[in-house]
Amino acid sequence: MASHTTNLHFVLFPLMAQGHMIPMVDMARILAQRGAMVTIITSPVNANRFRSVVDRAIEADLKIQILELQLPLAEVGLPEGCENFDLLPSSAHAVNMILAMNMLEEPAENMLKVLCPPPSCIISDGCFPWTNDVAKRLNIPRVVFYGPGCFAFLCVHIVTSTNILDEIDSDSEYFVMPGLPDQIEVTKPQASTWGRGDTKESTQVFERMVEAEKDALGIVVNSFEELEPKYVKELSKVKAKRVWCVGPVSLCNKSFQDRAERGNKIAINMQDCLKWLDAKESGSVIYVCLGSLSYASTEQAIELGLGLESSNIPFLWFIRQPSEEFEEWLFKEGYEERIKGKGLMVRGWAPQILILSHQAIGGFVTHCGWNSSLEGISAGIPMVTWPQFGEQFLNERFIINVLKIGVRIGMEVPVIFNKLDESKEIMKRDDIKQAIEGLMKNDEEGEARRKRCMEFAVMAKSAMEEGGSSQRNMTSMIQAIIEELAKKKTPV
């Protein structure tokens, strides 16, 4: 098997968003560890974010390279350097980013034509449907990757392929999602913020994605079968496709450096942060991080800060880009001085898997992005769920209702990604305090939740080990590609 793999050349096209890019880079390393050659194609700014991780992989004799494509930013009205969704001037510019991504088809194809050795397989994010046309023209098998897990992906399939939402008038009433193995209740907006979207451009991309997916050899998912067995089966059935769960891919990061630098440069001296955690009791700290794309208004950030302060729980709070008004409030109130010892606030990127694996962490306040959710699960950490947009409300249902390892903060109304800064729903400090204290309680319910978390963490690690389900699925995917190449009479 390995000897066949060494002749394969995988070309990966990750979406320019951290939640999609990070697992794709992990996947690239896992494929290279199997002996395959891997090329990651992205733009210069994104390439720089994970270059150090790839350089270390190359030093370890893995055959990985990064090739850069220039995004046509000026042509779509974006400033220079805005090459990732988290760098956009505002979330309303997401449409411009989609237009820029769609213009990569021709330069990408020209790049693939001269690649040596020629590509054996394209693994592309579902949001690049044009890679399907390129794959067909160049006669290369294509596997599609999406950000979410099988549960959310199945929910999205149900609402976008049926007229279930047309039959529901109310935006606030809960209904039972049909066609699921478990009874899951959602509101109409919660069920529909991932998929077609609200703009003409996003709808067009979604429709092209659905069409392009039909030609794919299969779907690769960052999840593991033991976590959502019924949903893997059901998704494979409704898509009439092979679904390979190959995760949690984050577990391929073994060294301190790889875990610290996964995704971006870290915010502060990590040693200071770890030293602070080292001084805390085991399982006593709540870690707060609302993702790379989440938006918190000044009012919401203040409520979160006061909610954390009023709880009797030590906390580590990563805040991506505090507004000037919020910084002013912090200074005027002497907030950071007040919380000294009990809380630590860090501005910028969080080395999340490093923090979650620290013995002092006992809970995680998360926006329910799939990467964060899966990283929390892999570390055996119960979660306070605070979804905002996309499929995050569906992930919340999975954490709360299916896995039973979390406590809801009480967010009801999703925001549309390109209107993040118009979010009206504010979680109040008392709700935040209550959810955090509820999660960290040592009562019977809390103990049962923690026990379930630890069981899933053990399953996650087993899945990625020799002979584990994710490892077998990776072998199965590689085998399917070899068979497809033989059918196409392309020498492997």
- Confidence class of residue 370 from pLDDT cuts 50, 70 and 90? very high
pLDDT at residue number 1 = 43
Say yes or no to pLDDT of 488 above 90: no
- State the SS3 of 74-109: HHHCCCCCCCCHHHCCCHHHHHHHHHHHHCCHHHHH
Say yes or no to pLDDT of 492 above 70: no
pLDDT tens figures, 445-466: 999 999 999 999 999 999 999 9
Specify the range with the lowest mean pLDDT, choosing from 10-19, 304-313, 480-489: 480-489
- Confidence class of residue 491 from pLDDT cuts 50, 70 and 90? low
If you average pLDDT over residues 13-30, what whole number do you get? Answer: 91
* Same fold flag, 2-252+462-487 and 266-460: yes
pLDDT at residue number 414 = 83
DSSP state string for 295-363: ---HHHHHHHHHHHHHSSS-EEEEESS--HHHHHHHHHHTHHHHHTTTEEEEES---HHHHHTSTTEEE
Q: What is the CATH number of domain 2-252+462-487?
A: 3.40.50.2000
What's the mean per-residue pLDDT of the chain?
A: 89
If you average pLDDT over residues 20-45, what whole number do you get? Answer: 94
Say yes or no to pLDDT of 270 above 90: no
User: What is the third-level CATH fold of 266-460?
Assistant: Rossmann fold (3.40.50)
pLDDT at residue number 311 = 94
Specify the range with the lowest mean pLDDT, choosing from 121-135, 151-165, 237-251, 468-482: 151-165
Q: Any idea where the domains of the chain sit in the sequence?
A: 2-252+462-487, 266-460
Structure tokens at 260: 């610290």
pLDDT tens figures, 274-283: 889 999 999 9
pLDDT tens figures, 371-403: 999 999 999 999 999 998 888 999 999 999 999
